[in-house]
Each structure stands twice: as structure tokens, then as C-alpha cells.
């Protein structure tokens, strides 16, 4: 099985994950959360983005948009080897600013909510990753 290079309609610096350079606008106070489609075509990209340190799971989302901690963010996930799209209404739990040390990609860490629907997504991600979940390989996360 080989990882195909994703067809990207927009730039991505995230090894097989695509997200819009400018997510849907309107995530200021009192407005609707932004929506980001996040497509993982390769298991290695999903590994680099997954945040098992969050109790309910979470993902790193590469973006140049400014977010605040605690801000609502809506993800529409496509996982490798899976044709289903998964909606997640998460919250920004950490920020990686532009020009971060260590060459880290600018973006946000999105914490999954603690509901049953999202638990199913977390379990699916961990099934796809298998033993990679406990790997010591570097990631875009903690």
C-alpha cells in the first residue's frame, strides 16, 4: 500500500492533510464558529495531527487564521482508508503562532467534545493509527 500525494486545491504544509488556507469566516465573538474541512489522505499525516493527550482526543489543524483559546471550531474530517466524513464541534485548546520555535507549523489544537458521537470518531482514529498512537515519532502536537 502506498500513500498517494494528495491533490491539493489549496496550499497545505501538513504532509497529506488538507485544510483551507482561509476557513469559512465569521468566528468572531457572538457569531457562528468557523468550519474547516480537514482531509487526511495518509496515516502518517493523521498521526502527526492526532492529540491523544486530550482526554477526549483532538487534532492539530494547520491554519493561518487567528483563533482564541476556547473558541468554537467545527471540523469536517475525512480519514485515511475511510469514505465517511466525520463532523466534530470542538474548541481551540492551544495555539501555535506563526514563526514558532522548532519549525512548528502555524495552527491550532482542537479538543474534541466529550459526547458519544465524538468518542466513536476518537476510537476510529485510534483504530486507523494502531500502534502508531504510542509511537515516540515527533508530531505537530504536544
Per-residue pLDDT at 135: 61
pLDDT tens digits, residue range 47-89?
Answer: 989 998 888 999 999 999 999 999 999 999 999 988 899 999 9
Residue 101 in grid coordinates: 520555535
13 has a pLDDT exceeding 90: no
Residue 104: is it exposed, middle or buried by C-beta count within 10 angstroms (0-12/13-18/19+)? middle
Report percent pLDDT > 70 for the chain: 70
Closest to 91 in 3D by CA, of 105, 74, 116: 74
**CA 106 remoteness from chain centre:** 12
Residue 50 in grid coordinates: 492526532
125 has a pLDDT exceeding 90: yes
CATH of 17-132, one of 2.60.40.10, 3.40.30.10, 1.10.10.370, 2.40.10.220: 2.40.10.220
Long-range residue pairs from 136-139, CB within 8 A, at least 24 positions apart, any chain: 137/47, 139/47, 139/48, 139/49, 139/50, 139/60
Domain assignments of the chain as residue spans, ordered by start = 17-132
Is the pTM of the predicted complex or chain greater than 0.85? no
Residue 115 in grid coordinates: 459526547
Computed on alpha carbons and rounded to an integer, the radius of gyration of the chain in Å comes to 14
Q: Where are the alpha helices (DSSP H) in 20-132?
A: 43-49, 116-129
Per-residue pLDDT at 121: 93
Per-residue pLDDT at 45: 92
pLDDT tens digits, residue range 30-43?
Answer: 567 789 999 999 99
Residue 35 DSSP SS3: strand
- Distance, CA of 50 to CA of 79 (rounded, Å): 11
Amino acid at each position: 500500500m502506498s500513500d498517494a500525494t494528495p491533490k491539493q486545491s489549496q496550499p497545505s504544509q501538513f504532509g497529506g492533510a488538507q485544510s483551507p488556507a482561509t476557513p469559512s469566516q465569521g468566528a468572531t465573538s457572538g457569531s457562528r464558529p468557523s468550519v474547516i474541512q480537514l482531509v487526511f489522505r495518509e496515516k502518517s499525516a493523521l498521526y502527526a495531527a492526532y492529540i491523544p493527550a486530550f482526554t477526549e482526543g483532538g487534532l492539530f489543524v494547520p491554519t493561518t487564521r487567528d483563533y482564541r483559546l476556547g473558541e468554537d471550531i467545527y471540523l469536517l474530517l475525512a480519514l485515511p482508508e475511510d469514505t465517511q466524513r466525520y463532523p466534530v464541534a470542538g474548541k481551540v485548546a492551544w495555539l501555535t503562532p506563526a514563526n514558532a520555535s522548532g519549525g512548528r507549523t502555524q495552527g491550532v489544537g482542537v479538543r474534541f467534545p466529550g459526547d458519544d458521537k465524538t468518542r466513536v470518531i476518537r476510537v476510529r482514529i485510534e483504530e486507523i493509527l494502531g500502534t502508531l498512537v504510542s509511537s515516540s515519532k515527533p508530531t505537530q502536537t504536544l
